[in-house]
Each structure stands twice: as structure tokens, then as C-alpha cells.
Amino acid sequence: MLAAGYRRVALVGQSLAAVREVMIEGPSGLLATSSEIDRPVWQPSRHRLEWKNGAVAYAFSAEDPESLRGPQFDLAWCDEAGAWGKGEAVWDNLQLALRLGPCPLAMVTTTPRATALIRRLKTDPGTVETRTATAENAANLSPGFLGWMTAAYGGTAMGRQELEGHFIDDPEGALFLRSQIDALRVAAPPVMLDDCIVAVDPCISARPGADACGIILAGVKDGHGYVMGDASAPGLAPHVWAGRAAALAAAAGASCIVAEANQGGDMVAEMLRLTGTGVPVRLVTARLGKRGRAGPVAAMYAQGRVSHAGHFDMLEDQMCRFGTAEAAGSPDRVDALVWALWALMGEGQGPRVRVL
């Protein structure tokens, strides 16, 4: 493209570190793939690449959409746009900046995750779409990697997305729809909430490969729920997940910590007490199966009563697979989400709650 006359380029990645480590200095980055004769000079202090023919490229972080206001370009390379937390705001500002030359262009390289921006790009009549499967890049991958990935994910929705580059949206049977989550997403929750809590779905093992401990922060204002934090992680020892939950509750000013007691019972409460937290602990006991508990919460989303304050990729991916044939492992994050929203907004038959 630079040989065709393009001279001012925007390089937009998930973060400035991603632009540098992947797009510029990475094994497939601009420095490594340029010939010795045409290799640009990287100026880290200016976040800038400069070619001998006078072309320049500037690095931008998708975490800061406002940084794209002011500069102007005739070409842009956007990497992993499906993982941008502020995707549409970044894209809108970039379009305003692509105002030089006879035919300004933007190239997007990404796994096609079902986000609002990727949906928008796929339906744009000006988009030209190409798809490359992981197998076509086998020569550049570690031996055995492709076989392991195919064995683990072949034939699944995740495999079709990650290995074959297909756009997978709202699979059949899903209780939670990504389109609904995206439609109600907000940048931040209200300043003054009526209540907020941390919900915990404890894990029973810290061994490698074990299920994650679900730890979700949620709040409510005027009957509308807000998902505000996800501190979930796999392989956490009891004192570690308890500390995480207590720290999140203290930082958010939560009124209580709600923890599932079906596995661990009083041990769960004792681990939370040992953190020294002054936040009350409430144990909840499930009376329904996971899908039965999640159904009323999914209805809250369908009714437009829950917003995500920010992006929670791992939680949202798990939500949108929950209830489908592609679901795998324990829905730990979803379980914690369900307990949180039940405790804040549940009506009618809910979980049995024991206050400690």
C-alpha cells in the first residue's frame, strides 16, 4: 500500500504495548516482514515508524478513542478489533481521521468475535471480507499445535470462530444473547447506586485445569441492574479467592458478599471471615439446577433490565455459550452473575439465603 502512494498510516491495536509487540516488533510485524532495503525506522518515544520514501505510521491504543481526534491519515491497520473494549468509539473517530488522499482505506485483521463493531463491519456495503483458517498457517506454527487445537475445539462453535475464522453469533439454545448485552452496555454505572454486592461461586480445587472461582460485582439503581466487575480466575486456593472477593467488596463499598454454599458450606463462610473483611457474608443454597436459576436472570436481560458497565469478555463469552451444545466446563462466572442479580433484583422464587 505504501508503494501505491499512501503516506500517513494509523496503527491501532488493543493497547500501545500490543501495537509495539505484535504489529511492529513481533515475528509477523512490520519490522520483521520488511526487506532490508525498505525497512522503516521505529521511534519508540514518538510511537512512530518512518520509511525512506517519507511515509510515516503512528501507533494508537484502542483503549483511548480520543487519541484519534486531531490527526489525519490515508491508511489504517486495525488489529484484533474484535477484542476492542471501546470498539465503536475507536472506529468512529478513526473514520473521521481517514480524510487524506483520493481513496483512504482501513484494514482490519481480527478473530471475528460477535461484537457490535464486527457486526457493523460485516453489514457495511463497503467492507471486503476475506477469511483464512489456522490450518493455512500451519507452516508457521509450533508442531502439534494445530492437532491439539483441532482435538480440543474441532466441530465446536469456538473452533469455527478461532480456527476457521467464521463469525458465530448467538448460538441456538443460548439463554443470554450477545446482541442484548451489547445493546444495553454502558460506559459506567450510576454514581449513586441503591445497592451493590459481590457474588462468589467457590471452586473446590486449585489444581491446574480446575474450574474457575466466579467472583462478580453487581449493583442496582431504580430496579435496573449493573454488572461492574469480574475478578474470577481458575486455580485459586481458598484463601486467594476469598481475598479477591473481600478486596473487591471493600473497593466497591458492597453491602454484602453472597456465596454459594452447596459445595463447602460453612468452610466458604469461614474463608471469607479469615480475610478480616467487615462486609456481611450471606450463604445461598441452590434449589434449582444451573439453567433453572439462570432462566429468570436471562429474562431480566431480555427485558432490558441489566447493563454491563464496560466489557467483560470472558464472562460474556461464557454467558453466550451457556445452555448451548458448545458449552464446556462449569459456568462459574455465570453462576456468580446469577447469584448477584438474584440477590439484587430477584422476584418470586429465588435461592434460599442464610445470613451469617
Q: How much is the pLDDT for 41?
A: 94
Describe the chain by its helix, strand, coil percentages, rounded to 5: 40, 20, 40
Angle at 172 between CA 166 and CA 176, to 5 degrees: 100
Q: How many CB atoms lie within 10 A of CB 95?
A: 13
Q: How much is the pLDDT for 167?
A: 77
Structure confidence by residue, pLDDT tens digits, 254-299: 999 998 876 656 678 788 888 888 899 888 887 777 777 888 898 8
Q: For domain 2-130, which CATH number applies: 1.20.120.720, 3.40.920.10, 3.40.50.300, 3.30.830.10?
A: 3.40.50.300
Give me the CATH code for the 178-355 domain, please. 3.30.420.240
Q: Which cell numbers hold the place of 43?
A: 521511534
Fold agreement between 2-130 and 178-355: no
Q: How much is the pLDDT for 352?
A: 47
Q: How much is the pLDDT for 354?
A: 45
| SS3 state at 220 | strand
The reply to whether the predicted model has a pTM over 0.75 is: no
Distance CA 68, CA 50 (A): 19
Q: How much is the pLDDT for 253?
A: 95
Angle at 123 between CA 120 and CA 124, to 5 degrees: 85
Instruction: Name residues of the chain where pLDDT drops below 50.
Output: 327, 348-356
Q: Where are the domains of the chain?
A: 2-130, 178-355
